[in-house]
Structures are given as structure tokens and as C-alpha cells.
């Protein structure tokens, strides 16, 4: 065990204060002991995932959730035998152990051990070494291997194998950026159980691009600019939020902060205090899947990452540094995940909580009474950053004084590269001489378990439309808002439509505002294209969720992942398309909103060698949740600002 694991183990015994608190180091160790005693951990069995099995909602809300349970995906590295196990810490026994049978069930996520062994296997393979030697790369010690999840391409493919496809990059110097030097046209297909290269695909040769991408090298970046003067953010009286354990309160907001090795940050029981009551808004919010399908139909047609379901974004979370990653009065939370052997690993400072000034909240200079008033907006920020291979993703949740919730993903890091054939290439951009970056999409799926003023909710699609000239609209200027109730799951797989300003409003079917209308929250999408792959493409079956911007399902505690539980090499059809097959009623029910968002990325020269952050996301805005602007009680930022 590492020092961190020992320290984490020593912290065992501390019982979580709340049923939704993340699993502790002590709990992981206790669960591991129970599984070992049940014979589930015989060598060489490893953990492909290990996390809290949250109690069902009714147990939490009814204060009946007394047991703590953990879920583990276990894989025997020699046989591939895969098990989805659930252990009860209260009963001290394994209460579920289901076999996962590939290819129909998919494969368990890639493990840390897989990453390490693939590099050795490929470097030792004579066929791969020969392919490198043919390209003038006789010294394979300078070659970095990049294992990529294989996808699923039907019975004729290699789908029975647990496998990865491996691309190569040259890193001649210690600080060189290997992504700048792809060795294109050759891929090693590795069987992770047989632990061998079973196929070398060697299709074409293009020169390895030579220009350095080492953005930390003064010869590449030039001297640092000397014109930036310091910005310091200080809150002399401390921040306005409080953290008691995982319970976060700020102004009228309260929520519980969670973290999972697969999903990363999870937020629970988000509520707003108004009129002297605690009003629930979202029971659970997270981004439980993202897929990055590449759009190059040639050699790398299989390149598609499900970063969350295949690689587990949470376990790759960064430790954040004050003054570098975060400025000002920051409070951090550590995250506890586990290594492949199920031993706890603490990621210090994984979650960042802070408060930001966000410009003007509201402002008015009245031409009649002379009053000139302005108020400053603030937001509470809860975030984490993760590195998955070449890309880095920041997951940010913002809570504003006026009741708005925003989810923002910051995409940065290094684009995935290939050799560029020169000239115009429809599927790849030339970003440095001879260096290409294939077009791709980043499609995230947010799961929003809504509880707008309670469990009884419904969803309306709201469009704006102009009306034609007619007897009631003689000058043709009429605009109407059309709300269509989405009452069944079959009806609720929807696409955004910017030309109609389309939004989706979640309303309570039990509570109304002072106008007698249902209280609600509106999901405002960004309306980027959904999955662009052909509907008959293998990736369209595997990423079925990404064909629609919106899905609404009836709450089912087993339905957590938009592309299904076992995404790696899954043939498709799991997740949202399967969840809605029963066409359940949504009207006045306990419902979950699922929202697909994210950009098409045709890389620019400016994205190289490291990308400035690009953002995507969505907002949830109160819509008749309050009876009027809920921020009239926000004081002016200083007495100087109160005019007349
Ligand atoms: Cu991208």
C-alpha cells in the first residue's frame, strides 16, 4: 500500500453523517474484506470500479436508509470473468453478485493495470517493432503507446475479446510533447486477457510530424509576456458559505456534495429556502456520461471514447492548487477513490468550493424618480477537473443569487492528433506542419433528478413562434409561447431548436405561485448538433442517448447511466433508449431529466499545442418558482452605491 492508502486506512471507523455522503476509506476496506471472505477477490481479480451504491430515493427521503452499500465491478485479469457485486456493510455480506457476460453485456471499464500492461505488451511485440522499424523508428524506447477503447463493430469484428487498440507517438526528449509526433497508419490491437498483440493494422505511412509541441519550452512559447499585473481576490471576512461535512449552504441554497470514481462530482438534495420553507429543486445532479466520437471514416474509424463509462472520469480527478487552479477564498474537499486492488486512494483537494463576484445582478436608473440602483451578482462554484488521456475537463456547477443553476464544462488539454496528408482534408484540420487533428464531437449527458417543490413533476416543451397575418393579427407582429406537455417517455426524446428558442420547463403538479400557475424551473439548452454519426453507425447504437438533447424518464434507482452500466465494448441499445422502451407515464410523476450537450470540434490552429478553454453547458432558471425577483433583499455592495 502507498502512504496515502495507509493514511486513508487509518481513518477507517469514521461513520458518514448522511446516507448520501461518499464512501469513506474505512468503508472501502470493510467492503473489500467482506468480498474477500466471500471468495470474490482471488488472485488476479481487480476492481474496475468501486463506489457507493446509493440508497433509493424513498429510503433517503423517508429517513429509512440505514444500510451502507458498495458496488464493485470485479474482473479476473487472466480469465476475463467479470462480476457486478454489491456488498452490504450493515449486514456484512455480499448481497448481489451478477456475472457480466461479454460481448452482449459489454466489458468492464479499463483498469490501471490494463494501461500498464498494454505498454509492455506492445513494446515487446515483434510485429509492432517491425512496423516501427519500417518507419525508421528502430529505438522503440522513445515511443509512447496510447491504448484506446475498442468500440464494438459486430460479430465479424473482434468483439469477443476484451481489447484495446493502440496508437503510437514519439517522445524523443523527456519534456517533449508526444502528441506532436504521431506515428500514423499503424495500430496494434491488444487482447487484454491473452495479454498479446493479436493484430497489427499497418495501412499507410506518413512522415512523423517534426515540429515541437512542448508549450513549456521557451523555444516554442517565446519569453513570458511581462505586462500582466497581479489580480488578487480577497474576502477579508471569509466566504459567505458554510461547509459542515458534505453539507454546503450558501445564501438560500443548500446541497450535499458527493464524489464518485465514475461520475466525478455529484450534487444531492439541492434546495432553495424561500418563504420560510426549504424547497427542493433537484434530488441529484451529475454528468454521468460523455462520449467523444471522432469523424474520420478511414484508418481510425473506431476512435470513440466514452470517458465516463469506459475510463471513469472521477478517478482521474486532479489535486487542485490554490493560487494556480483556484484564486481567492477556496475551500477544498478531498475525494476518496480506490486503486485496482480496492485499496483507498485519497485525491487531496479534488473538489473546489468558492464564491465569485459575477458582475451586475440588476441595475436601473429611473428617469422619473431619479433612483439609480445596482446590485452585484454572485455565484457559488462547486467544481473539479479531470485528465483523461490527452484531454482535460473541468466540471463546474454554479448557483446564483437569483435561483439560476448553471452547469459548465471547460474543455482544455491537447487535441488528439494524427499525421496530416496535406491539402484540404474533410475529416481533419492541419494544426502544425504535417500534423492533423481529426474532427470530433464532445457529447455530455447530464442527469437531473428533478424535485421541483416535491416529487410530483411534469415537463413542458416551450417554443416561441410568430403568427401569420389574419383577422386577429392584422399586422403580423403576434408572438406566442406554445407549451406542449410531454406526458410519456416515448414523446419526450426531443431535440433543441434554436429557431424557436426551445426550452423545457419542469413544473410541479402540486404547487402553484401567486398567479395560480405551477411553479417551475426551465432547462435552457445551447442547441449544438446532437450525434452526427449515421443512425445506422455502430456508435449511434452505443451512444443512443446522444441522438436527442432531452430525455425524460420516470425515476428508477437502477437507471443511472445514459449509455448503460457497462459501456466498454457494449454492442449498443443500453441506457436511455432501453429506459424509455416501457413508455412510462411522466405526468405528475417522479421524473429524471437527461440532457445531451457539447460542441462539434473541428480543431483550429489556435487549439495547438494546448487548447485555450472552450466551454459548453446549460442553465436551469426558475420559471414562476418565485412570485417576483427574489433578490430585492440583496444589499447594495457599498453605501456609496445607493443613490436617491
Ligand atoms: Cu475536442
Residue 361: phi and psi, rounded to 5, are -90, -55
User: CA of 187: how far to CAs of 113, 295, 640, in Å?
Assistant: 20, 18, 66
Residues 159 and 217: their CA atoms lie apart, in Å, by: 43
> Do the domains 3-100 and 112-221 sit in the same CATH topology, yes or no?
yes
State how far the Cα of 66 lies from the Cα of 127, in Å rounded to an integer: 56
Q: Are 66 and 18 in contact (CB under 8 A)?
A: no
CB atoms within 10 A of CB 210: 13
CB of 550 closer than 8 Å to CB of 504: yes
pLDDT at 11: 44
Mean pLDDT by 10 residues, the chain (644 residues): 40 68 97 98 98 96 92 97 97 97 95 94 98 96 96 80 97 95 97 97 96 96 95 95 97 98 98 95 98 96 96 97 94 98 98 98 96 96 97 98 98 97 94 97 98 98 98 98 98 97 98 98 96 97 98 98 98 97 97 98 98 98 98 90 62
Residue 356, C-alpha cell as written in the block: 465569485
Q: Which of 493, 567, 576, 572 is nearest to 540 (CA)?
A: 572
Q: How is domain 112-221 classified at the architecture level of CATH?
A: Roll (3.10)
Instruction: Give me the CATH code for the 241-641 domain, please.
Output: 2.70.98.20
Ligand 1: centre distance to CA 167 (Å): 18
Element (H, E) at 481: strand 479-485
Question: Residue 442 C-alpha to ligand 1 middle, in angstroms?
Answer: 6
Whether residue 254 contacts residue 237, with contact meaning beta carbons closer than 8 Å, is answered with: no
The residue extents of the domains of the chain are: 3-100, 112-221, 241-641
Q: What is the pLDDT of residue 66?
A: 85
pLDDT score for 8: 41
Cα-Cα end-to-end distance for the chain:
67
| pLDDT value, residue 12 | 44
Q: How far is the CA of 194 from the centre of ligand 1 (A)?
A: 33
CA of 391 to the centre of ligand 1 (A): 8
What's the full length of the chain, in residues? 644
User: How many angstroms separate the alpha carbon of residue 411 from the centre of ligand 1?
Assistant: 7
Active site residues: 307, 391
Fold of 3-100: Nuclear Transport Factor 2; Chain: A, (3.10.450)
**Full-model pTM:** 0.96
Task: Yes or no: say if 478 and 466 are a contact pair by the CB < 8 Å rule.
Answer: yes
DSSP run (H or E) holding 379:
strand 372-388
Supply the DSSP symbol for 353.
E
- In three-state secondary structure terms, 475 is coil
Please tell me the distance between residue 550's alpha carbon and the centre of ligand 1 in angstroms: 22
Q: Ligand 1 centre from 616 Cα, in Å?
A: 11
Amino acid at each position: 500500500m502507498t502512504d496515502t492508502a495507509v493514511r486513508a486506512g487509518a481513518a477507517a471507523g469514521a461513520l458518514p453523517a448522511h446516507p448520501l455522503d461518499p464512501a469513506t476509506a474505512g468503508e472501502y476496506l470493510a467492503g473489500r474484506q467482506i468480498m474477500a471472505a466471500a471468495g470474490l477477490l482471488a488472485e488476479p481479480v481487480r476492481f474496475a470500479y468501486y463506489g457507493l451504491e446509493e440508497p433509493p430515493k424513498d429510503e433517503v427521503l423517508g429517513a429509512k436508509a440505514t444500510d451502507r452499500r458498495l458496488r464493485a465491478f470485479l474482473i479476473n485479469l487472466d480469465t476475463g470473468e467479470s462480476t457486478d457485486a454489491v456488498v452490504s456493510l450493515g449486514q456484512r455480506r455480499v448481497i448481489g453478485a451478477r456475472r457480466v457476460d461479454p460481448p452482449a453485456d459489454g466489458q468492464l471499464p479499463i483498469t490501471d493495470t490494463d494501461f500498464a500492461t498494454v505498454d509492455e505488451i506492445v513494446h515487446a511485440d515483434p510485429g509492432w517493432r517491425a512496423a516501427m522499424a519500417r518507419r525508421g523508428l528502430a529505438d522503440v524506447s522513445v515511443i509512447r503507446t496510447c491504448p484506446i477503447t475498442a468500440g464494438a463493430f459486430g460479430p465479424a469484428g473482434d468483439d469477443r475479446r476484451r481489447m484495446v487498440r493502440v496508437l503510437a507517438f514519439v517522445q524523443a526528449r523527456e519534456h517533449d510533447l508526444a502528441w506532436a509526433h504521431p506515428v500514423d497508419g499503424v495500430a496494434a490491437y491488444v487482447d487484454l486477457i491473452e495479454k498479446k498483440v493479436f493484430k497489427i493494422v499497418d495501412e499507410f505511412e506518413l512522415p512523423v510530424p517534426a515540429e515541437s509541441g512542448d508549450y513549456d519550452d521557451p523555444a516554442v512559447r517565446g519569453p513570458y509576456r511581462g505586462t500582466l499585473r497581479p489580480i488578487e481576490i480577497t474576502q477579508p471576512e471569509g466566504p459567505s458559505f458554510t461547509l459542515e461535512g458534505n453539507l454546503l449552504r450558501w445564501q438560500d441554497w443548500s446541497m450535499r456534495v458527493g464524489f464518485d470514481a465514475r461520475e466525478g462530482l455529484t450534487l444531492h438534495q439541492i434546495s432553495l429556502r424561500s418563504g420560510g420553507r426549504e424547497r427542493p429543486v433537484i434530488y441529484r445532479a451529475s454528468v454521468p456520461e460523455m462520449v467523444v466520437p471522432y469523424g474520420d471514416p478511414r484508418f481510425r474509424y473506431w476512435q470513440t471514447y466514452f470517458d465516463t463509462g469506459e475510463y471513469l472520469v472521477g478517478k482521474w480527478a486532479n489535486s487542485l492548487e490554490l493560487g494556480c487552479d483556484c484564486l481567492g477564498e477556496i475551500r477544498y474537499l478531498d475525494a476518496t477513490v480506490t486503486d485496482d486492488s480496492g485499496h483507498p486512494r485519497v485525491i487531496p483537494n479534488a473538489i473546489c468550493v468558492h464564491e465569485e463576484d459575477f458582475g451586475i445582478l440588476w441595475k436601473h436608473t429611473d428617469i422619473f424618480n431619479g433612483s439609480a440602483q445596482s446590485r452585484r451578482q454572485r455565484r457559488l462554484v462547486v467544481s473539479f477537473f479531470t485528465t483523461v488521456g490527452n484531454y482535460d475537463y473541468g466540471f463546474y456547477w454554479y448557483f446564483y443569487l437569483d435561483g439560476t443553476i448553471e452547469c459548465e464544462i471547460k474543455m482544455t488539454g491537447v487535441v488528439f492528433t494524427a499525421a496530416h496528408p496535406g491539402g484540404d482534408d474533410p475529416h481533419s484540420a492541419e494544426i502544425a506542419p504535417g500534423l492533423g487533428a481529426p474532427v470530433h464531437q464532445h457529447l455530455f449527458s447530464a442527469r437531473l433528478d428533478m424535485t421541483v417543490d416535491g416529487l410530483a413533476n411534469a415537463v413542458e416543451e416551450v417554443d416561441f413562434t410568430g403568427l401569420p397575418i389574419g383577422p386577429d393579427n392584422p399586422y403580423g407582429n403576434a408572438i406566442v409561447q406554445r407549451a406542449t406537455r410531454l406526458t410519456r417517455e416515448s414523446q419526450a426524446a426531443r431535440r433543441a431548436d434554436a429557431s424557436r428558442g426551445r426550452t423545457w420547463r419542469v413544473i410541479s403538479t402540486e404547487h402553484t405561485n401567486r398567479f395560480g400557475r405551477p411553479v417551475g424551473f426551465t432547462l435552457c439548452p445551447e442547441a449544438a448538433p446532437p450525434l452526427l454519426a449515421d443512425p445506422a453507425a455502430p456508435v449511434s447504437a452505443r451512444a443512443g442517448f446522444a441522438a436527442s438533447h432531452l430525455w425524460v424518464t420516470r425515476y428508477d434507482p437502477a437507471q443511472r447511466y445514459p449509455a448503460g452500466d457497462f459501456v466498454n465494448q457494449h454492442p449498443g441499445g443500453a441506457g436511455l433508449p432501453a429506459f424509455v422502451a416501457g413508455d412510462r407515464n411522466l405526468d405528475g410523476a417522479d421524473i429524471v431529466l437527461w440532457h445531451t450537450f457539447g460542441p462539434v470540434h473541428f480543431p483550429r490552429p489556435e487549439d495547438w499545442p494546448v487548447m485555450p478553454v472552450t466551454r459548453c453547458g446549460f442553465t436551469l432558471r426558475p420559471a414562476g418558482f418565485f412570485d417576483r425577483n427574489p433578490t430585492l433583499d440583496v444589499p447594495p455592495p457599498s453605501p456609496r452605491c445607493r443613490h436617491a
